[in-house]
A and B are shown apart, each in its own frame.
Chain A
Amino acid sequence: MLQILIYGAVSSAIYAMLAVGFTLIFGVARILNLAHGSFYALGAYAAYVLTSLLGVPLFIAAPLAVLIVAGFGVMMERFLVRPLRSSQLAVLMITLAVSLAVEQALFITFGSEYRNVPSFVADKLSIGGVDISGQRLLALVAGVLVLLGLWLFIQRTRLGAAILAVSQDPEAAQYMGIPTNRIFSIVMAISAGTAALAGVLVSPFLTVQPTMGLLPMVKAFAIVIVGGLGSIPGSIIASLILGYSETIVAYLISSSWTELVSLVAVVITLMIRPSGLLGRRAAF
């Protein structure tokens, strides 16, 4: 059962990295970003291009890839989302359009072949008799550190306080002299960056492929619905629930049932508690 504990933790950490950014940008800027999966895919592709095509060492390529995608997120927010922000539906459509455009651009540039990103850690570790590749453990550790860092940033810094203020009431925050637009840019950078980091960390043990952003996007959405849109602690709890239930289902029933877990979780949540575990208000 130690296996379930460890593998479940890895899945949960990756899900949490994806879901926190997704819920953050919604909580602060009310942007339901359907292009969130694209950040994940772009992160993986950036790592692939830098390492495999340009020969950049992996430990430089990884942060570089995250920065590039964070920049892409900021550009997207500034030039595509911001002009449309008065209409939530228009924002939804433009982010969907971005995700389709990104996927198609990846198809045209790289074709549909699977691409490979080298492992950060080649070793295999054994924890209490459970074999786990170093790369997975790295994803777990990085995920925990990123979430911890994010929490400290929001709770302990002035900028974090500003982000909290904007998420509670953007207009009041603006009257207090908080530059809301700049806060939106920063939050978008964080959101895109964490998704990209997840993409970079998993690509060595998964694979890099143009449609790779779709499933994580669906998962992130499911987690955020379960956890409550806009709630960071809620999405972390939901990540743990989903990560572990998928692992448990894979062990006790069959791997062919795991993809159903998130859908069932969404249906149950919407039936019992539509605002999610820790949702402060109804989503829309």
Chain B
Amino acid sequence: MDSFLRPLAAASMIVAGALASTAPASAQQAPIKIGIPTSVQLQVGRDTQNAAKLAIEEINAKGGLLGRKLEMVVADETENPEQGIAAIKKLTADDKVNVLIGGYTSGVTLAQLPHISNAKTIYIGVGAASPAITAKVKSDYDNYKYIFRAFPINAAHQARALVDFINGKLKGEMGLKKIAIVGENAKWVQDLVPILKKGATDGGTDVTLAEFFDTSTSDFSPLFAKVKNSGAQYLIVVLSHASSDIFVKQWHDAQVPIPIGGIDVKSQDADFFTRVSGKANAETVGMFAIRAPLTPKTIPFWDEFVKRFGTAPVYTGIGAYDSVYVYADAVKRANSVEPDAVIKELEKTDHVGIAGKLVFDELHDVKTGPGLQNLLFVQWQKDGARVVVWPKEAATGPMIAPPWMSN
């Protein structure tokens, strides 16, 4: 039934976006258009737009790009591939944007790829994590050279970071030997879980259960009971599109005697803790950035974002802000907006971003590693405080147990 309504929502957002961006068109030349395909109804989508707007305004305030103003056009790609393709077609064919910055759902982005390639428009992904998205850059460079991913690090890199958390923190520091892994039934999770399982097993941790659940699951009691019966001492969760709210609430209400942590995208929201009445206490969440001096830009950006939009940015916001700058720098170096010239310059990107240095590998995928983009493990603690617990060198406090397990 959603599909009846989405075009309406999309249309209203597009109008709003267009109104917001037509204000100071003082430059004689036509503006450079940045198309934002994203899920406008979700926090990830709102932050993509807000952060891109912030970067665009900053660049325009300094005289724009090649003497032209930047302009933002938004289209709602929802979480549905069909709507996603419609959004790309609208942005490339109707609005004739110079670059696309956005994305959230890997399945949607994958469906969009051929259409992006047909439109010969540069695409910088800031939300979807499936490694399959940039895999085509290598196998079919001529057609897919337009595709870049600036954020987040891909699911395989995330899996490695999670394996490091399992082997380093859980096994190494806490001595836990048995874990269970549960994840939503989605493309990026299917990519991620096997790597996770192998990594944990190779590191000497016993994976007692690995299970997927449907993204519309609303009753997790059977799952929690199974995890408990499997004898696991820690539950690794991998979810993004399923309801983190329901998952965490039911975990807390049933006082499941197993701590949880992992990659849980909606738990990254700044208001998550209050949204679930504090029931996220002791959940550990992998985050791509947090308000800490990761680079000289992190804290100024974070504070400016909170001041302007009243909420801390989620990961897509960080990616979108960096991507606008990365694109603008490449255009400046190429002295042109011609895709081929800009792609050559984008490939040379070495940009100090919000969460670390941003460098693309030969697949046009963002690199991970010390000083580059990473995954931090941050625990929700009392009263909604967020404490980095892993990696060790970035930790800001000790990890706590759920209240019902601490005595």
Residue B43 is within 8 A (CB to CB) of chain A in the complex? yes
- Shortest distance from the beta carbon of A68 to any chain B beta carbon, whole Å: 23
Of all chain B residues, which has the CB nearest A8? B222
Of all chain A residues, which has the CB nearest B1? A214
Given A11-B219, A207-B243: A259 and B214 interface contact (C-beta under 8 Å): yes
Range class of the B interface residue count? 35 or more
User: Number of residues in A with C-beta < 8 Å to the partner?
Assistant: 42
Are A3 and B222 in contact, CB atoms less than 8 angstroms apart?
yes
List residues of chain B with CB within 8 A of the CB of A115: 275
Residue B276 is within 8 A (CB to CB) of chain A in the complex? yes
Determine the distance from Cα of A11 to Cα of B221 in the docked complex, in whole angstroms.
11
Determine the distance from Cα of A112 to Cα of B225 in the docked complex, in whole angstroms.
30
Are B277 and A205 in contact, CB atoms less than 8 angstroms apart?
no
List residues of chain A with CB within 8 A of the CB of B275: 113-116
Determine the distance from Cα of A24 to Cα of B291 in the docked complex, in whole angstroms.
55
Residue A131 is within 8 A (CB to CB) of chain B in the complex? yes
A177-220 contact mask (Cβ, 8 Å, vs B): 1 or 0:
00000000000000000000000000011110101001100000
Determine the distance from Cα of A215 to Cα of B215 in the docked complex, in whole angstroms.
12
Of residues 166 through 191 on chain B, the ones whose CB sits less than 8 Å from some CB of chain A are 185
Of all chain B residues, which has the CB nearest A52? B277
List residues of chain A with CB within 8 A of the CB of B212: 254-256
Query: Which stretch (B48-56, B253-261, B375-383) binds chain A?
Result: B253-261
Taking a contact as CB atoms closer than 8 A, the residue among B9, B217, B245 that contacts A258 in the complex is B217
Are A206 and B218 in contact, CB atoms less than 8 angstroms apart?
yes
A-B contact count (CB 8 A): 105
Residue A99 is within 8 A (CB to CB) of chain B in the complex? yes
Determine the distance from Cα of A115 to Cα of B243 in the docked complex, in whole angstroms.
11
List residues of chain A with CB within 8 A of the CB of B266: 114
Are A112 and B42 in contact, CB atoms less than 8 angstroms apart?
yes
Residue A235 is within 8 A (CB to CB) of chain B in the complex? no
- Shortest distance from the beta carbon of A241 to any chain B beta carbon, whole Å: 17
Determine the distance from Cα of A257 to Cα of B212 in the docked complex, in whole angstroms.
9
List residues of chain B with CB within 8 A of the CB of A134: 253
Given A116-B277, A250-B223: A255 and B218 interface contact (C-beta under 8 Å): no
Determine the distance from Cα of A111 to Cα of B8 in the docked complex, in whole angstroms.
14
A94-107 contact mask (Cβ, 8 Å, vs B): 1 or 0:
00000110011001
**What are 29 inter-chain pairs, A to B, with CB distance below 8 A?**
A100-B1, A104-B5, A107-B9, A111-B41, A112-B42, A114-B243, A115-B275, A116-B275, A118-B277, A119-B277, A124-B253, A124-B404, A130-B225, A132-B254, A133-B253, A206-B246, A207-B243, A209-B243, A214-B1, A215-B216, A215-B218, A251-B222, A254-B212, A255-B212, A255-B217, A255-B223, A256-B212, A256-B213, A258-B217
The 5 closest A-B CB pairs, nearest first, are: A133-B253, A255-B213, A250-B222, A112-B41, A207-B245
